[in-house]
Chain A
Amino acid sequence: MTSIPARNPFPARGTCELGESFLPHARRQWSRYQPTARLSGVQGALRLADDYIRDFGRDGALGCLYGAHGAGKTHAACRMMASIDAVDRRAVQFYLRFDNDDFVTAYRRLASSLTQDALTDLCLRYLGVLAVEWAEQHGSAAQLEEVHAAIRNEPSMVLELFDAGDADYNAVLEAQAREISIAVGDGAQFQRALSFLLRPEFSHAAYDWLCGRAISPGNALAMGVDPQLDDPQRCRYALQLLAALTTRGGAPFVLVLDQCEKFLLHDGTLLPRNSTLLQNLAETIPLAGGLLLLVCNLAGWDLMPPDLRQRLASAAHRLPLLTPHEAELLLTAYTGAARGLFTDDAVRELLRQSGGNVRRFLQLSWLGYERGFSRAPIGVETIARSVPGSARCPELTELAMLLEARLLAAGLVVERSGNGEEFVSFGLPDSRDPQVLITLSKALYADDHRFAEAGRKDGRAAFTSVLISGYASPPVLTGLSRLAHVVLVADGSPEFSRRLDTLVEQVAAALGRH
């Protein structure tokens, strides 16, 4: 039975919209109202969070989500943060989206999302843990369990512990200095800032300093620190310090760095200094007991230096294209009980036109609903008409004409065969004894017989290629790439057009060698 949602259930822009200040309150709201399908990326991220929480106190964690634009990386990361909130409300979580290669500015934005009260609380909790540990070793507080509970409940109680002489403030600072020097280089200035954070006359200045803002020269002199945290290295230390403070105080620490490609690459080339910095964070945040999740697109992943990729190896999760099954999951997540909003063919068309990209799939679903909600179930024609002209992917016949034209323009002789309905083949120089065989296929949704047909490798052809209109499901793509030299999915983008040119060059080269 078909029941139509009264309002368009899909996001018009198909994006996971959230601000930089993804604070606990915002995260709760987001997770309450944002539908989520258990796609592979989300599952990977949630597994990472589960493992981290399970091993909290023993081990930190490191993860990486990468995939095409619109594959749902940010959404998966946010869902992960929301899941950690649900387990431990005291978790300190930072979400940072890079928009350039400047780490100092990024750190300042990120740190400012932690309020002074929250930072002071972290600092006191950490001191509390150290003080209780000291008291345990020195047998000075008779009711340690009670004291510890009191400090957990009200962190500022630790100051009373010092005043009462039950813990030696200086000895606790000594322990803190040792731990800070392990967590960060240049620990002295950070320790001073933490101490001055607890002194009323300097607390604002200390907070500003830790957030990377400039403080007055007078305050800097008094606190024994430089006027400002202004180099990437020390901003990294500050993050490591926050991680250590939080986890030693007993709360999970999560740092999500989104759009790492914008940080790693400048005009398409890798910035070694920034890749070293990310690598350092990948070592130190887990060491400090925190969870670091790097999120980047395919270009970012491909250009990541080998040692960083190696470090991430088992923790990296590639977000694949939607499978037909996942497309159903996604629609169910948004329409809930309302089933049958789209016909089966319409769903396939959504997949084909979106190329299996989550964001485009949702955008097209939105457009489809807008155009056809009065005549549900929404059929394939409605979807086809909903696609903006510029974004349409070529039909099989269009694709064949496009390829043929390019080959002819390159002066290559080509002979066409195939049924024209589901397949078109180009043999070069002819179909009976081709040296190059290019097979064009309609969209391939599942692992069906047409897949083997499309990938048929002619024993005599030196070079084979498969072009698919719009969409091929991930398992099909994987299988095809084993059979043919070049596999391209035609989505009508300039990127596809460029790849087509490259293919024509490869064909010419293959023919030239024979």
Chain B
Amino acid sequence: MEVSDVRYELYGLMAGNPYTTRPLNSLEQELDRSLLLELEGFVRLPKLQEAIEAAVTRRGPALFLITGVGMSGRTSLANHLLYLYHQAHGPQHRLATHRMDGYDMTHDAYAQVRSTLLSLRNKMGLMTIEMPPGLRGRFSELSRRGSVDPMDEYDLQEIAEFLAATFAASDAAFGVVYEGVATKDLITLSTRVFENTPAVVVFTVDAYQHANAAQLTEADRSDFARRGTIIDLPLLTTRQIACLAEQRWTGTPPVPFDPDDLQAVFDSRRFTIGQALRHLEVLLDLRLVEYEGEDLWPTDDLRMSSRWLRIKMWQGERWSRLR
């Protein structure tokens, strides 16, 4: 048996390591919907659902602003909000989405909103939604008017409303995700452009201080809070990490991590949800490769004892400082 052969089946894990971390996509992956966990207040899904339903009812925009550091779950939550918005319209409804991530982000807010609208125009074609002649004319003008000769924001607003009405006539809507917003101008402009549009718009802002991350002041935040919902993704508490270990478990019960032991070893430093998952993922693999027996879980040698956890965490720290 190779050292790297990890026998997940011993834990009854048929789909591999349950703590593997990746951005969840609730909109497209049914499985991911159940993986977006509330974790005792990490996110408050009912409140978000409420905000979406209210927006749908008043035929206005559902605006969200997510802030957090790397691996704090910004992308997963943004995708989940699209999914919730889609759900709120019923199963026959279609949702067109436009995403811009950090690689597409620039400091030119107009150029990005213009790209968003033109991209949604193209999606109409793909969804075989017919373009009314009036809207076609407006889009031709928008195509011509680059950043050097920008259209007025109320003209953009008119296009957005016209577009949303056309989507709605075909029982469809659209959602926009701006990830890693570089300038708060983008938030200001798109909030204006979509202020009367029935659509979901999600901004994620990296909670870092550098010149390519929008720096939001308290005034910016309270201004946004009047129109939409702000979600700050925190580092996890030790209780939330224990919760995560338990709720992500898909193998044979019980969960091999003891909640109290986990809380004790994760107490020295705080982690994002992504970092916590990475630790759990590695711990599980280590436990499995160190186990030479054949007995299935639950068995004592596959349990992550408090001492074993402490040694592994300590070793991890030591290894990473080897140089």
Q: Spell out A's residues near B (CB within 8 Å).
A: 135-136, 139-145, 148, 165, 168-171, 173-174, 176-177, 187-189, 191-192, 195, 199, 202, 217-218, 221-225
Contact = CB atoms under 8 A, between A and B. Distances in A.
Nearest to A147: B323
Contact of B316 (A139, A143, A222): A139
Contacts of A170: 69-70, 206, 208, 210, 213
Nearest 9 interchain pairs by C-beta: A224-B107, A139-B320, A222-B106, A188-B211, A177-B210, A221-B108, A191-B211, A173-B210, A170-B208
A174 B208 contact: yes
A347 B148 CA distance: 70
Given A142-B319, A221-B147, A222-B108, A195 B70 contact: no
A466 to B, nearest CB: 64
Q: Chain B interface secondary structure, helix, strand, loop or mixed?
A: loop
A66 B111 CA distance: 53
Contacts of B208: 170-171, 173-174
B211 A218 contact: no
Contact of A218 (B69, B146, B183, B213): B146
A224 B146 contact: no
Contact of B107 (A141, A144, A173, A222): A222
A497 B77 CA distance: 86
B70 A169 contact: yes
A224 B106 CA distance: 8
A144 B211 contact: no
30 contacts: A136-B321, A136-B323, A139-B320, A141-B320, A142-B319, A143-B322, A144-B323, A148-B323, A165-B274, A165-B278, A170-B206, A170-B210, A171-B70, A173-B210, A173-B212, A173-B213, A174-B209, A174-B210, A177-B211, A188-B211, A191-B212, A192-B107, A192-B211, A217-B148, A218-B108, A221-B110, A221-B147, A224-B106, A224-B108, A224-B182
Q: Chain A interface secondary structure, helix, strand, loop or mixed?
A: helix
Contacts of B322: 142-145
Nearest to B146: A218
Contacts of B111: 218, 221-222
Nearest to B102: A169
A417 to B, nearest CB: 79
Contacts of B209: 174, 177
A267 to B, nearest CB: 42
Contacts of B66: none
B2 interface: no
Contacts of B280: none
A174 to B, nearest CB: 5
Interface string B262-287: 00000000000010001000000000
Contacts of A223: 106-107
B71 interface: yes
B212 A217 contact: no
Contacts of B206: 170
A148 B322 CA distance: 13
